[in-house]
Amino acid sequence: MGRQEAKIALEDGTVLRGLSFGATGETCGEAVFNTSMTGYQEILTDPSYKGQIVAMTYPLIGNYGVNSEDVESSRPFVEGFAVKECSQIASNWRAEKTLGAYLKENGIIGIEGIDTRALTKHLRVAGVMKAVISTEDTDARSLIRKARESPGLVGRDLVKEVACQKQYVWGDEDRYTVVVIDCGVKYNILRSLASRGCRVIVAPAETGPEEILEMKPDGVLLSNGPGDPAGVPYVVETVRALLDKVPIFGICLGHQMLGLALGGKTYKLKFGHRGANHPVKDIRTGKICITVQNHGFCVNADTLDSREVEVTHINLNDQTLEGIRHRRLPIFSVQFHPEASPGPHDAVYLFDEFIAMLEERRAKKG
C-alpha cells in the first residue's frame, strides 16, 4: 500500500504536492518557516505556534524521535507541520516514539517530500500567508479558495485557546513569588524562574490586576503566546494597571503587550523571526547573543516615548526592536526567548537581571 498524497496550498495560488505523515484530514493556518536544525519537539509544543503551519528549513526532521520530557506545554499546538523528509527511524536512547506516531496521536497533519527551501524563499519574498494542508481534497483551486477564506492571525485572540483556565503553582522554592500571566507560557520559562528560587504562580491571561496584587508578588512575568498582541487588549490593560506597582519582565508576546501598555504600537513583520540562530545585540554592553525567536509581530521603537523607555536590544539581521527597559520603573522586556528550549543559552542572564531587580526592590522596601 502506497503512502497517502497530501497537498499544501497558499492563498497566492502556490500549491506543493507531497506525502502525508502523522494525522490525516485537513488543516489551515498561517504558513511560516523555522530555521532551527534541531528541537522540533519543543517547537511543536510551543503554544506560540497556535494558528500556524510550520515548515522546517533543515531537510531531515524526526531522526532522534520524540520523548515525554522535551515538551514545552501539555501538547502540540501547531496547526500543521511541513518538512523535506520525515525520518522513519527514531535513533536516540531517549526516544519513545517516532515523530510521525507522535503527530498522529495528537491529531497534527504533517506533509513531507515538498521543497521546503523553495517554500521558505517564497515566503521570504512574498511574506507569510494563509495556507491549507489536506490529505482529502486534491483539487488545487478548492484548496487555494479554502486558504483565502481561512481566518488568519491579525486581530485574533489566540491566547484564550492556549492559556491555562485555572491558576496553578510551579516549583517548591519560596525565596521570591513571581506571578506569570499565562498567554501560552513555555515550561522552560517556569523552570528558569523556579531554579532561581522563585515560587511561580501561573495565572490565566484574564486575571485582573487587583487579583494579581492580592497574591503579593515580588514580580510579574508576561509570557510568550500566539498571534497578534492587539488581539488581547484585556491583558494590555492589566499590564498598564501594574506598571507602577511591581517589577515586570516580558518575553516575546509579553514584550509586545508591554510595548502597547507603555503607549507604543506594534506591526506585522513580512515573514517574522523563527529559529534558534538570530543574532541580537545588547546595546548596553555591546554583547551579541545568538537567540531563539518565534514571533510575527514587532514593537515599533519610534512609537515609544524615549524619555520614559530606552531601547536595550536590536536584531542584527534587520535592525528591528528586540528589547526595552523603563528608565524609572523596574520594568524590562525582550522579543526573543532567553529560556531557549530549543537553542543556545546565550541570553539566560536576563533571568538573573530579573532576580536582581526583585532583590533590589525588596531591599528598598526593607
Residues with active-site annotation = 252, 337, 339
C-alpha 238/C-alpha 254 separation (Å) is: 12
Environment class of 326 (CB within 10 Å of its CB; exposed 0-12, middle 13-18, buried 19+): middle
Q: Are strands 331-334 and 321-326 parallel, antiparallel or unpaired?
A: antiparallel
Q: Are 27 and 61 in contact (CB under 8 A)?
A: no
220/344 Cα distance (integer angstroms)? 25
Q: How far apart are CA 290 and CA 14, in angstroms?
A: 33
Nearest CA to 324 out of 256, 276, 275 is that of: 256
CB atoms closer than 10 angstroms to residue 349: 14
Strands 80-83 and 109-112 come out as: parallel
* CB neighbourhood size of 344 (10 A): 13
Question: Residue 182 and residue 47: Cα distance in Å, rounded?
Answer: 11
Rounded Cα distance between 83 and 112, Å, is: 5
Hey, how many other C-beta atoms are within 10 angstroms of the C-beta on 268? 15
Phi, psi torsion values for 85, nearest 5 degrees:
-145, 125
